[in-house]
Amino acid sequence: MSEIVVQTNRSVENDEQSQQIASTSRSSSLVSEIQTKHPLQNTWELWYYKNISLNFEQNLFKITSVDTVEDFWGLFNNIEFANKLSQNCGYYFFKKGIRPMWEDNANRNGGRWFFNLKKTNLTDEYWLEVLLCLIGEGFGDYNDSICGAFVLIKKNQNRIGIWTKDANHRDANMHIGNVFKQRTSYFGMINFEPHDNTKEVSYQV
Protein backbone atom coordinates (compact mmCIF):
# COMPACT_ATOMS: atom_id res chain seq x y z
CA MET A 1 0.00 0.00 0.00
CA SER A 2 2.79 2.43 0.91
CA GLU A 3 4.43 1.66 -2.43
CA ILE A 4 1.30 2.76 -4.26
CA VAL A 5 1.15 6.00 -2.24
CA VAL A 6 4.81 6.76 -3.01
CA GLN A 7 4.33 6.09 -6.70
CA THR A 8 1.19 8.22 -6.74
CA ASN A 9 3.01 11.10 -5.04
CA ARG A 10 5.84 10.83 -7.54
CA SER A 11 3.34 10.86 -10.38
CA VAL A 12 1.72 14.02 -9.00
CA GLU A 13 5.14 15.65 -8.57
CA ASN A 14 6.10 14.75 -12.14
CA ASP A 15 2.85 16.19 -13.48
CA GLU A 16 3.40 19.41 -11.53
CA GLN A 17 6.98 19.67 -12.82
CA SER A 18 5.81 19.07 -16.38
CA GLN A 19 3.19 21.79 -16.03
CA GLN A 20 5.76 24.20 -14.58
CA ILE A 21 8.19 23.46 -17.43
CA ALA A 22 5.44 23.92 -20.02
CA SER A 23 4.34 27.17 -18.36
CA THR A 24 7.93 28.45 -18.24
CA SER A 25 8.43 27.49 -21.88
CA ARG A 26 5.28 29.38 -22.93
CA SER A 27 6.37 32.41 -20.90
CA SER A 28 9.83 32.34 -22.47
CA SER A 29 8.33 32.11 -25.94
CA LEU A 30 6.01 35.03 -25.20
CA VAL A 31 8.88 37.16 -23.85
CA SER A 32 10.97 36.24 -26.89
CA GLU A 33 8.16 37.31 -29.22
CA ILE A 34 7.77 40.60 -27.37
CA GLN A 35 11.51 41.28 -27.42
CA THR A 36 11.97 40.43 -31.09
CA LYS A 37 12.14 43.54 -33.26
CA HIS A 38 11.98 43.80 -37.02
CA PRO A 39 14.96 45.73 -38.41
CA LEU A 40 14.57 48.28 -41.19
CA GLN A 41 16.89 48.19 -44.17
CA ASN A 42 18.02 51.73 -43.35
CA THR A 43 18.28 53.78 -40.18
CA TRP A 44 16.15 56.93 -40.37
CA GLU A 45 16.43 60.19 -38.45
CA LEU A 46 13.56 62.49 -37.56
CA TRP A 47 14.26 66.22 -37.55
CA TYR A 48 11.99 68.96 -36.24
CA TYR A 49 11.96 72.23 -38.18
CA LYS A 50 11.00 75.57 -36.66
CA ASN A 51 11.53 78.78 -38.58
CA ILE A 52 13.21 80.94 -35.95
CA SER A 53 16.35 82.02 -37.78
CA LEU A 54 17.52 83.17 -41.19
CA ASN A 55 20.13 80.41 -40.92
CA PHE A 56 18.31 77.27 -42.11
CA GLU A 57 20.61 74.91 -40.22
CA GLN A 58 19.79 76.62 -36.93
CA ASN A 59 16.11 75.86 -37.54
CA LEU A 60 16.72 72.10 -37.55
CA PHE A 61 16.63 69.96 -34.42
CA LYS A 62 17.38 66.25 -34.58
CA ILE A 63 14.85 64.36 -32.46
CA THR A 64 15.88 60.71 -32.70
CA SER A 65 16.66 57.83 -35.04
CA VAL A 66 14.81 54.58 -35.71
CA ASP A 67 16.06 51.31 -37.17
CA THR A 68 13.21 48.88 -36.43
CA VAL A 69 9.52 48.76 -37.28
CA GLU A 70 8.63 48.82 -33.59
CA ASP A 71 10.80 51.88 -32.91
CA PHE A 72 9.19 53.69 -35.83
CA TRP A 73 5.68 53.15 -34.48
CA GLY A 74 6.81 54.04 -30.99
CA LEU A 75 8.08 57.34 -32.36
CA PHE A 76 5.14 58.08 -34.65
CA ASN A 77 2.55 57.38 -31.95
CA ASN A 78 4.24 59.70 -29.46
CA ILE A 79 4.95 62.84 -31.46
CA GLU A 80 2.63 65.66 -32.42
CA PHE A 81 0.61 65.08 -35.58
CA ALA A 82 2.03 67.13 -38.43
CA ASN A 83 -1.24 68.96 -39.01
CA LYS A 84 -1.20 70.19 -35.41
CA LEU A 85 2.25 71.76 -35.62
CA SER A 86 2.52 75.53 -35.45
CA GLN A 87 2.80 77.64 -38.58
CA ASN A 88 6.24 77.52 -40.23
CA CYS A 89 7.14 74.28 -38.49
CA GLY A 90 7.52 70.76 -39.83
CA TYR A 91 9.26 67.41 -39.86
CA TYR A 92 12.11 66.02 -41.97
CA PHE A 93 12.58 62.24 -42.06
CA PHE A 94 15.93 61.38 -43.65
CA LYS A 95 18.32 58.48 -43.95
CA LYS A 96 20.93 58.49 -41.22
CA GLY A 97 23.95 60.54 -42.18
CA ILE A 98 22.07 62.84 -44.57
CA ARG A 99 21.20 66.25 -43.21
CA PRO A 100 18.01 67.76 -44.64
CA MET A 101 19.91 70.59 -46.29
CA TRP A 102 20.70 71.31 -49.92
CA GLU A 103 24.37 71.72 -49.00
CA ASP A 104 24.74 68.14 -47.78
CA ASN A 105 26.81 66.08 -50.22
CA ALA A 106 24.01 63.55 -50.67
CA ASN A 107 21.57 66.33 -51.63
CA ARG A 108 23.82 68.69 -53.55
CA ASN A 109 22.93 67.33 -56.99
CA GLY A 110 19.41 66.30 -56.13
CA GLY A 111 15.94 67.75 -56.03
CA ARG A 112 12.50 67.27 -54.58
CA TRP A 113 9.02 66.16 -55.48
CA PHE A 114 6.30 68.04 -53.60
CA PHE A 115 2.68 69.08 -53.54
CA ASN A 116 0.66 71.58 -51.53
CA LEU A 117 -2.68 70.90 -49.90
CA LYS A 118 -5.18 72.72 -47.75
CA LYS A 119 -4.87 72.48 -43.98
CA THR A 120 -6.88 69.30 -43.37
CA ASN A 121 -6.36 65.97 -41.64
CA LEU A 122 -5.33 64.58 -45.02
CA THR A 123 -1.93 66.03 -44.24
CA ASP A 124 -1.41 63.39 -41.55
CA GLU A 125 -2.72 60.58 -43.76
CA TYR A 126 -0.47 61.57 -46.66
CA TRP A 127 2.53 62.06 -44.40
CA LEU A 128 2.14 58.63 -42.78
CA GLU A 129 1.80 56.98 -46.18
CA VAL A 130 5.04 58.62 -47.32
CA LEU A 131 6.84 57.50 -44.16
CA LEU A 132 5.65 53.92 -44.60
CA CYS A 133 6.82 53.99 -48.19
CA LEU A 134 10.25 55.14 -47.05
CA ILE A 135 10.82 52.64 -44.25
CA GLY A 136 9.28 49.86 -46.35
CA GLU A 137 11.68 50.58 -49.23
CA GLY A 138 8.70 51.10 -51.52
CA PHE A 139 10.56 52.58 -54.48
CA GLY A 140 11.85 49.33 -55.95
CA ASP A 141 15.11 49.61 -57.86
CA TYR A 142 15.40 53.29 -56.92
CA ASN A 143 15.36 53.10 -53.13
CA ASP A 144 19.00 54.20 -53.10
CA SER A 145 17.97 57.41 -54.88
CA ILE A 146 15.89 58.47 -51.87
CA CYS A 147 17.34 60.92 -49.33
CA GLY A 148 14.27 61.58 -47.22
CA ALA A 149 10.92 63.31 -46.98
CA PHE A 150 9.40 66.37 -45.36
CA VAL A 151 6.14 67.95 -44.26
CA LEU A 152 5.89 71.71 -43.67
CA ILE A 153 3.01 73.62 -42.12
CA LYS A 154 2.46 76.99 -43.75
CA LYS A 155 -0.05 79.81 -43.24
CA ASN A 156 -2.74 78.78 -45.71
CA GLN A 157 -1.52 75.38 -46.85
CA ASN A 158 0.75 72.47 -46.02
CA ARG A 159 3.49 70.94 -48.15
CA ILE A 160 4.67 67.33 -48.39
CA GLY A 161 7.63 66.20 -50.43
CA ILE A 162 10.41 63.71 -51.10
CA TRP A 163 14.08 64.54 -51.69
CA THR A 164 16.10 62.56 -54.22
CA LYS A 165 19.85 62.33 -54.85
CA ASP A 166 20.25 63.08 -58.56
CA ALA A 167 18.06 65.60 -60.34
CA ASN A 168 19.39 64.46 -63.71
CA HIS A 169 18.42 60.80 -63.26
CA ARG A 170 15.12 60.97 -65.11
CA ASP A 171 14.15 57.29 -64.78
CA ALA A 172 14.71 57.30 -61.02
CA ASN A 173 12.90 60.57 -60.45
CA MET A 174 9.92 59.70 -62.62
CA HIS A 175 9.53 56.34 -60.90
CA ILE A 176 9.76 57.95 -57.46
CA GLY A 177 7.29 60.65 -58.46
CA ASN A 178 4.76 58.11 -59.71
CA VAL A 179 5.05 55.99 -56.56
CA PHE A 180 4.72 59.14 -54.44
CA LYS A 181 1.51 60.07 -56.23
CA GLN A 182 0.05 56.55 -56.17
CA ARG A 183 0.76 55.91 -52.50
CA THR A 184 -0.76 59.20 -51.36
CA SER A 185 -3.63 59.04 -53.89
CA TYR A 186 -3.03 62.74 -54.49
CA PHE A 187 -5.34 63.87 -57.30
CA GLY A 188 -3.48 66.96 -58.51
CA MET A 189 -0.23 67.57 -60.35
CA ILE A 190 3.02 66.87 -58.52
CA ASN A 191 6.11 68.81 -59.53
CA PHE A 192 9.83 68.14 -59.26
CA GLU A 193 12.36 70.89 -58.63
CA PRO A 194 16.17 70.57 -58.54
CA HIS A 195 17.82 72.12 -55.49
CA ASP A 196 20.15 73.96 -57.85
CA ASN A 197 17.80 76.26 -59.75
CA THR A 198 20.39 76.72 -62.50
CA LYS A 199 19.73 73.13 -63.62
CA GLU A 200 17.27 72.97 -66.49
CA VAL A 201 15.34 70.02 -65.14
CA SER A 202 11.59 69.75 -64.81
CA TYR A 203 9.40 66.71 -64.17
CA GLN A 204 5.69 66.33 -63.51
CA VAL A 205 3.38 63.44 -62.71
The dihedral over CA atoms of 154, 159, 164, 166, expressed in degrees to the nearest 10, equals: -80
Residue 139: the pLDDT is 97
Does residue 113 have a pLDDT over 80?
A: yes
Residues 6+ apart with CB under 8 A from 101: 56, 57, 60, 107
Q: What pLDDT score does 97 carry?
A: 97
Phi, psi (5° rounding) for residue 152? -125, 135
Judged by average pLDDT, the poorest of 48-57, 143-152, 154-163 is 48-57
14 band by pLDDT with thresholds 50, 70 and 90:
low
Say how far apart CA 198 and CA 51 lie, in whole Å: 26
Q: Residue 3 pLDDT > 50, yes or no?
A: no
How far is the CA of 24 from the CAs of 11, 14, 36, 165, 177, in angstroms?
20, 15, 18, 51, 52
